[in-house]
Amino acid sequence: MSILNDIINILKSLSILDYVLYFSVVILIILVVSLISIIKSETENTPEIEIESDGEIDLKEIAHKIDTHPKPIIDMTKYETEQEEKAIISYEELLENTQNLSLNYLDEEMVDEEVSVKLIDLNSLTKREPITDEYPPKVDVRLMKYEHEEAFLKALNQLNELLNL
């Protein structure tokens, strides 16, 4: 009986903060033990790769383990499987399909001898051109004349002044 009275006296002398600390330590110990048991069970379930005595990995054994432990099949809908089959395209096919397409133009005219304006043929938007060995394709670059650059810069400065007012 005296032991029971001693335990009751010790529990009465503890404050609320002591109770919180003791219970938090107990919960922390339980969590650590459960984490260790989960990690241990996971390492037991995974097949280990044996390393040969000279430090090399046996590739035949790895291939055999992959064949005997295949990945689980992912459930996909009919639409997803159809999209998966259609989406797979090689990089070479993609380049081949994109490089030989170009827009059809009906008319081209120059505005102010600087800007090229082209009329696109909407009835047949693209045409196939033979693939050339020239990569990247040559681009016709037309630069502005010095006087036009100065006028453009002055216009930008005026716009900047108007915006800052």
Query: Could you tell me if 63 and 6 lie in one domain?
Result: yes
Q: Is the pTM of this model over 0.75?
A: no
Domain count, the chain: 2
Amino acid identity, position 26: V
Give the pLDDT confidence of 75-130 residue by residue, as tens digits.
Answer: 778 887 777 777 767 666 776 766 666 677 788 888 887 888 888 777 766 665 55
What is the sign, positive or negative, of the torsion defined by CA atoms of 21, 22, 25, 26? Answer: negative
Is 165 a domain residue?
A: no
Comparing CA positions, the residue from 132, 72, 133, 128 lying closest to residue 103 is: 128
d(CA 73, CA 55): 34
Render pLDDT for 50-62 as a digit per residue (tens, 0 to 9).
Answer: 565 566 677 777 7
Q: Are residue 59 and residue 106 in the same domain, yes or no?
A: no
Domain span at residue 129?
Answer: 90-138
Residue 82 lies inside a defined structural domain of this protein: no
- Of the listed ranges 32-36, 78-82, 96-100, 148-152, the least confidently predicted one is 96-100
| Whether residues 103 and 64 fall in one domain | no
104 close to 112: Cβ distance less than 8 angstroms:
no
Is the residue at 49 inside a domain? yes
